[in-house]
């Protein structure tokens, strides 16, 4: 009987953004991020030993180029120099479309391979290993709210998934399908070419500190404007990169403007965006349903998903 190491993780959506690296080689962030691990959306990954590395995502064989450095570092870190892996991963939400599938995907992959290596998949180890795949993958090893500080090699738990039961995220899916420029390539382009990049990095710590305090106090009025400031400053470095990075679609802008009006009508609904056209809105649970109705009326043709703070990484053995 073949034993399969199985791991599941949810995507990590940043309230305060990581964009740019302190070290590209070590994949450490130039800006600290504060994120929430989402419930309901999962990357589910099974790994076993094999004769050659082979990875599928949603049944599709992957080009190993993106994964080879990660697998090699993991082999070195886990003392498995000669080992090769067969990995099958499934996302129950759109892959590589700016719904943070690389965060859940690499967290689940690091967790499954740690278990397969016979090591205890304790969160600090898995977070550090997941970083070698994707910086944002350090975070969803923990449930609830997490922080990945600038220059660090692992994320830390900030508040667990029960800390703020009234906290929701409405995801407005503007376009499905993979994005044109990956976060990795985009953030390096911003670092090298945006005249605003240094200011983005130097002004980030105070935004993060303010947001951590506002979150600890569950204070929408203080947290919301900092969430907005973080993604708009990040996008300023994207728009001013050369060539520019324009991830927005007309519907993204329409949603941003609709939310501006809805806030004026009394909603506590604060959007963020990542390296893609989707708009993600943080709001209180008792406003989520009405908010989706309002947004659906104002911007037609979108798919909406709602998530709450979810659990961290789970790992176990499957018998096959
Ligand atoms: C915009 O973690 O995907 O989603 O470390 O190069 O793999 P790499 O980048 P990645 O970048 C995430 C960027 C972001 C903001 C965030 O999640 O903090």
Considering the domain boundaries, does residue 318 fall inside one? no
Average pLDDT over residues 209-228: 98
Considering the domain boundaries, does residue 14 fall inside one? yes
**How many whole angstroms separate alpha carbon 79 and alpha carbon 117?**
8
Q: Are residues 180 and 229 in the same domain?
A: yes
Atom of ligand 1 nearest to the CA of 29: 5
Average pLDDT over residues 202-209: 98
Q: How far is the CA of 14 from the centre of ligand 1 (A)?
A: 9
Q: How far is the CA of 72 from the centre of ligand 1 (A)?
A: 21
Q: Are residues 180 and 271 in the same domain?
A: yes
**How many whole angstroms separate alpha carbon 276 and alpha carbon 289?**
24
The pLDDT, as a whole number, for residue 319 is 81
Residue nearest to atom 6 of ligand 1 (CA): 184
Q: What is the pLDDT of residues 270-314, one digit of tens each?
A: 999 999 999 999 999 999 999 999 999 999 999 999 999 999 999
Q: How far is the CA of 264 from the centre of ligand 1 (A)?
A: 31
Percent of the chain with pLDDT over 70: 97
Q: Are residues 173 and 136 in the same domain?
A: no
Average pLDDT over residues 74-103: 86
CATH code assigned at 127: 3.30.230.10
Domain end call among 142, 163, 184 = 163
Q: Are residues 171 and 158 in the same domain?
A: no
Q: Are residues 228 and 278 in the same domain?
A: yes
Domains in the chain, number = 2
Question: Residues 40, 173, 156, 188: is their CA dihedral positive or negative?
Answer: positive
270 CB near ligand 1 (under 6 Å) = no
For residue 103, is pLDDT > 80? yes
State the CB neighbour count (10 A cutoff) for residue 160. Answer: 16
Which 3 state secondary structure label does DSSP give 28?
A: strand
Furthest CA-CA distance within the chain: 61
Atom of ligand 1 nearest to the CA of 148: 18
237 CB near ligand 1 (under 6 Å) = no
Q: Are residues 228 and 295 in the same domain?
A: yes
Q: pLDDT-based confidence at 176, cuts 50/70/90?
A: confident
Domain membership of residue 132 as a residue range: 3-163
**How many whole angstroms separate alpha carbon 16 and alpha carbon 214?**
12
Query: What global pTM score does this model have?
Result: 0.97
Considering the domain boundaries, does residue 194 fall inside one? yes
146 CB near ligand 1 (under 6 Å) = no
Considering the domain boundaries, does residue 317 fall inside one? no
């Amino acid at each position: 009987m073949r034993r399969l190491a199985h791991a599941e993780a949810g995507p990590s959506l940043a309230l305060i953004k990581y964009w740019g690296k302190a070290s590209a080689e070590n994949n450490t962030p130039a800006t600290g991020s504060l994120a929430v691990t989402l419930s309901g959306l999962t990357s589910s990954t099974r790994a076993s030993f094999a004769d050659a590395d082979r990875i599928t995502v949603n049944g599709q064989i992957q080009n190993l180029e993106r994964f080879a450095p990660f697998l090699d570092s993991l082999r070195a870190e886990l003392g498995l120099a000669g080992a090769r892996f067969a990995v099958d991963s499934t996302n129950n939400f759109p892959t590589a479309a700016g719904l943070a599938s690389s965060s859940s995907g690499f967290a689940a992959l690091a967790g499954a391979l740690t278990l397969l290596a016979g090591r205890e998949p304790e969160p600090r180890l898995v977070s550090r290993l997941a970083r070698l795949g994707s910086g944002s993958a350090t975070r969803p090893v923990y449930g609830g709210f997490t922080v990945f500080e600038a220059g660090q090699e692992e994320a830390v738990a900030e508040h667990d998934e029960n800390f703020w039961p009234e906290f929701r995220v409405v995801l407005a899916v503007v376009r499905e399908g993979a994005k044109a420029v990956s976060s990795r390539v985009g953030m390096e382009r911003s670092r090298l070419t945006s005249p605003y990049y240094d200011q983005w990095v130097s002004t980030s710590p105070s935004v993060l500190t303010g947001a951590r305090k506002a979150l600890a106090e569950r204070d929408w009025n203080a947290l919301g404007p900092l969430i907005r400031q973080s993604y708009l400053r990040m996008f300023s470095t994207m728009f001013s990169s050369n060539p520019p990075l324009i991830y927005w679609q007309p519907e993204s802008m329409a949603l941003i403007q609709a939310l501006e009006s809805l806030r004026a009508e009394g909603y506590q609904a604060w959007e963020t965006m990542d390296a893609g056209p989707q708009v993600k809105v943080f709001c209180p649970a008792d406003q989520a349903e009405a908010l989706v109705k309002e947004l659906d009326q104002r911007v037609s043709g979108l798919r909406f998903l709602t998530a709450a703070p979810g659990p961290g990484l789970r790992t176990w053995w499957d018998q096959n």
